[in-house]
């Protein structure tokens, strides 16, 4: 059973003050893009995980865990426990989503594993696990996992796991510049808190950007580019100063929107159309400001059986 699952870019990532439980209240406008991992689940004697780059991808997978700490493995264990079966499955993960790149690759793999294992073990005619059940399991795994199931464009609140689909007309064209090596999401949040504390600025409860939602609803790429915002970007730039050069290069080369994707270090650039995206990708590649340059479009569906 094989499941394809998309990367995400946060069109808006609003980060509130740190809560008593250690999390932050978030407002995240998620947008699924056509950069996919694929997870295949097959019967095996025990739970096994293998990870490789997709044939068309140059994603480095050396740092991806293959034990029980892999999110896809944890997803398989949750499904097995809910269905009362042994987690005897081999998971093969083919990655095209950057690792630790702020595009929720690990969360995407977990969502794909939820769907693949449910299809492998559940009764097709009378399934015990509904879509809502899978979403509940997804929220137990991480804040970004439910969106990888849903796909499209959606507003996430709380830790980002409570989702409402958002109206998005048309297709938006993106260029992503990946960096050499990842950034730790907890480290980026910690740096965000440190910067705010140093500035005596704890942060305020985030609100959904009306300008951004209007741009999505009308399919206006130029206005969407102007409305992109990421509260974690200053922290990501502090931890990885070279990203300033990448963002500046994309803007100078004609991107109509630019921001660090999620916790970084991948930088996302919005183009006005497909032709513009091709030109921007070629120019960024020539500028030598990133490890790799990839194009994608969105929105696209979430985890899908292939």
Q: Which residues contact 32 (CB under 8 A, 6 or more apart)?
A: 6, 7, 8, 147, 148, 151, 152, 153, 298, 299, 300, 301, 302
Cα–Cα nearest to 269, from 197, 181, 172, 187 = 172
Please, what is the angle between helix 274-287 and helix 242-252, to 10°?
Answer: 140
Residue 12, token pair as written in the block: 């808006």
Which is the catalytic residue, given 8, 25, 37, 109?
8
CA distance 150 to 111: 9
* Catalytic position from the list 132, 144, 180, 211: 144
DSSP-assigned beta bridge partners for residue 293: 177
Angle between helices 131-141 and 71-83 (to 10 degrees): 130
Distance between CA atoms of residues 236 and 191, nearest Å: 8
238 is catalytic: no
DSSP state of 301: B
Question: Does the annotation count 144 as an active-site position?
Answer: yes
Q: What is the rounded CA–CA span in Å between residue 179 and residue 98? A: 9
The secondary element (H helix, E strand) that includes residue 17 is strand 2-18
Active-site residue set: 8, 144
């Amino acid at each position: 059973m094989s499941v394809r699952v998309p990367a995400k870019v946060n069109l808006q990532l609003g980060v509130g003050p740190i809560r008593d439980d250690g999390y932050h209240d978030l407002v995240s406008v998620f947008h699924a893009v056509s950069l996919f991992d694929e997870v295949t689940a097959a019967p095996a004697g025990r739970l096994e995980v293998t990870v490789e780059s997709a044939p068309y991808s140059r994603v480095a997978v050396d740092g991806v865990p293959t034990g029980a700490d892999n999110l896809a493995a944890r997803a398989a264990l949750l499904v097995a426990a809910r269905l009362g079966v042994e987690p005897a499955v081999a998971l093969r993960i083919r990655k095209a989503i950057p690792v630790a790149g702020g595009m929720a690759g690990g969360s995407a793999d977990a969502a794909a594993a939820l769907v693949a294992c449910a299809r492998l073990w559940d009764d097709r005619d009378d399934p015990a696990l509904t879509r809502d059940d899978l979403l509940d399991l997804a929220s137990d795994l991480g804040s970004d996992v439910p969106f990888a199931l849903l796909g499209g464009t959606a507003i996430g609140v709380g830790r980002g796991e409570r989702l409402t689909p958002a109206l998005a007309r048309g297709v938006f064209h993106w260029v992503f510049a990946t960096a050499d090596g990842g950034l730790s999401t907890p480290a980026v949040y910690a740096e965000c808190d440190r910067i705010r504390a140093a500035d005596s600025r704890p942060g305020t409860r985030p609100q959904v950007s009306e300008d951004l939602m209007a741009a999505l609803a009308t399919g206006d790429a130029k206005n969407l580019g102007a409305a992109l915002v990421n509260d974690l970007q200053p922290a990501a730039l502090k931890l990885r100063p070279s990203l300033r050069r990448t963002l500046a290069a994309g803007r100078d080369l004609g991107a109509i929107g630019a921001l660090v994707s999620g916790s970084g270090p991948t930088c996302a650039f919005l183009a006005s159309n497909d032709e513009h995206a091709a030109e921007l990708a070629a120019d960024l590649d020539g500028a030598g400001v990133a490890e790799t340059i990839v194009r994608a479009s969105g929105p696209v569906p979430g985890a899908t059986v292939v």
